[in-house]
Amino acid sequence: MPTNSIPLPTAPPMPDYKAMPKILCGRGGSVQALYIHIPFCTCKCDYCDFYSLAGHADQYGRYLDALERQMRLETEVFGPIAPETVFIGGGTPTLLPPDDLQRLMAAIHQFCPQTRLTEFTVESNPNTFDTARAAILADAGVNRISFGAQSFQPAELNALQRDHDPHSVGRAMQIARAAGINNLNIDLIYAIPGQTLGSLDENLDAALALAPEHLSCYGLMYEPNTPMTARLRRGQIDPVSEELELQMMELVSRRLRSAGFDRYEISNWAKPGRACRHNLHYWNAGDHLAWGVSASGHHSGVRWKYVSSLHRYCDALESGRLPMVELEQLSPARRQAEAAVLQLRLAGGIDPRAFQEQPGAANADKFSEVIQKYRLSGLLTSRPGGAIALTDAGVAVSDTIFGDVFAALDGD
């Protein structure tokens, strides 16, 4: 053995799944939502900060083995689960070959009986969606597909380093509808470098022409540690100005409202009755389990996260451990503050009395002051029944409002 070898740093040990607090044991019956993460993509988009990996096709089988082990271990801890919603995201779940997709669906059915299920969503990139995959998903009870379109302009797709062509979105939606899946979302991004109000308008025309039931429209975020943010720092990207981004947000609102969509959350628009029930569970701070690498769950004020490394995730499960890397019991005040900020994202808003009267609110007077301040300045408004919600002007500065509401309730 060479004497000058330098030991490799070892990863910190992960807690055993038995470390999960007793409060969670046997609580599976109250799980409302289940998220499953499939991390594989054809390529890595420049702006993406999700845990996703380009290539790695040789790891699909190992990952599905590990996922099934997690399903078995977690249902041992929680007891039987029967969520109201399941959401398979990623990554690109429909990149899995049909046989693997079929295997995933069978495992979900084995460990997650669909007795209470009302919504089963799968995320897809349009260039990975075909009739074979659509038939497998429809047979398994999938009733909603979320397609990552982002833009219909080749130059904008290129700026984001997306690898699909604009026509693939319409093709994929046609295939989904032919298979009987008729609740379809299109994701769009605005404030893409080089985008103008005119090109965004054309993107909205193209998306609306496909008659989706739901649209998610997000302003481009420059997340830390992405290639796009690195290029921005090097001065190689000319970002859209704040003023133009605001005009784009207003254009999205105008166009989608006049097309019959309701903004039920800051960035999410739906035809009547088509709001995403799974994401509503999140925004209402509901209890959810999460399976897969980098996924995080929440139940009864306990939050946990699984490791963001494909190999560490699989290694841990192969040796019979759940690969948890974070486990946190939220204080009543923190739980309440997080719930308030999440619910304020919704058009229905929050009932301030529920937050003022519950034990744990750090400072009910300060909370009332914050609500009153933003109400007087027209950024919050009262809904019939007493709920408080963002106005259109409030949506544009929502991060500031959320920060103040959080500080008033949490007070840590």
C-beta of 10: minimal distance to ligand SF4 in Å? 29
CB of 161 to ligand SF4, least distance (A): 8
Query: Based on CB atoms, which residue is closest to ligand SF4, 55 or 61?
Result: 55
Which residue in this structure is represented by tokens 């998306």? 207
Q: How far is the CB of 201 from ligand SF4 (least distance, A)?
A: 24
Shortest gap between Cβ of 291 and ligand SF4 (angstroms)?
A: 17
Q: Which is nearer to ligand SF4, 48 or 395 (CB)?
A: 48
Identity of the residue, 278 or 321, whose beta carbon is nearer to ligand SF4 in the bound complex: 278
Q: Interaction with ligand SF4 in 126-185: which residues (CB under 6 A)? A: 148
Nearer to ligand SF4, 48 or 122 (CB): 48
* Contacts with ligand SF4, 27-56, as mask; x by CB under 6 A: --------------x--xx--x-x-x----
- Residue from 92, 102, 124, 268 in contact with ligand SF4 (CB under 6 A): 92
Q: Is 91 in the site for ligand SF4 (CB under 6 A)?
A: yes
Residues 71-90 that bind ligand SF4 (CB under 6 A): 90
Q: Which is nearer to ligand SF4, 91 or 349 (CB)?
A: 91
Q: Are 389 and 381 in contact (CB under 8 A)?
A: yes
Min. distance of Cβ 95 from ligand SF4 in angstroms? Answer: 9
Q: Which residues bind ligand SF4 (CB under 6 A)?
A: 41, 44-45, 48, 50, 52, 90-92, 125, 148
